[in-house]
Amino acid sequence: MKERVVVTQGKYCVSAVNRDQYPSVKRPEIVFIGRSNVGKSSLINSLTRVRNLAHVSGQPGKTQTINFYDVGIKIAGDESRHDFYLVDLPGYGYAKTGKAQRLTWKKFIEEYLLSSGSIRFIAQLIDIRHDAMKSDVNMFQWLVANGLPVLVVATKSDKLGRDAGSRQIDNIRRALGVPELDILPYSSLKGEGRSELLDVIADSL
């Protein structure tokens, strides 16, 4: 079947730790947030189908700056190309990151999220094998309290069978305190969830 949304470009743009370093050209932004090692960078690679675009590591704490990627899509029935940024963030909740470093990250990530003005939505990633942890619940509530639209994505869905996966998704809903919440299962390995996420992005632009 022909896909509705086709990615035509995915390339690195810029890394930032403060406001002067954000891209000079304003574009809609789709942001990925989640605990270290949850699969944010892998998701960006699978979505764009550009290998090694974002750096992936088995060691948590790999991404340490706010990384902007230039992405273009074509939507079926629409002649023009739509350009936007995918934004990769350092993970939260990694114990081995020192406390001072964690506070610095928290500060520049919060500053970015609150000042950007171009964020269409934030994909909050939670590992499908784990229940939402305190740090996930806190982050979810902070995003909602600040009026930022959130899409919860359950990553590494290839690690669980279908029944176990949907049970875990229910557990995540319960932990976040929103029983009706839409949660998108995603596998960067298998491509599950990719076309659904591209649809959500296309509709948000």
Parallel/antiparallel/unpaired status of strands 150-155 and 66-75: unpaired
Check residue 74 for interaction with ligand GTP (CB under 6 A): no
Check residue 124 for interaction with ligand GTP (CB under 6 A): no
Q: Which amino acid is at 49?
A: R
Hey, which residues between 46 and 65 contact Mg ion (CB under 5 A)?
62-63
Stretch that binds Mg ion, among 41-49, 70-78, 140-148, 149-157 (CB under 5 A): 41-49
# residues near ligand GTP by CB under 6 A: 24
Q: How far is the CB of 181 from ligand GTP (least distance, A)?
A: 21
Check residue 194 for interaction with ligand GTP (CB under 6 A): no
CA distances from 133 to 13, 38, 141, 187, 204 (A): 32, 12, 12, 20, 28
Check residue 156 for interaction with ligand GTP (CB under 6 A): yes
Parallel/antiparallel/unpaired status of strands 66-75 and 81-88: antiparallel
Q: Tokens representing 161?
A: 């069978």
Check residue 135 for interaction with ligand GTP (CB under 6 A): no
Q: Tokens representing 122?
A: 């934030």
User: Which of 41, 46, 124, 155 touches Mg ion (CB under 5 A)?
Assistant: 41
Stretch that binds Mg ion, among 16-24, 37-45, 70-78, 185-193 (CB under 5 A): 37-45
Q: Which residues bind ligand GTP (CB under 6 A)?
A: 34, 36-42, 56-58, 60-63, 90-91, 155-156, 158-159, 187-189
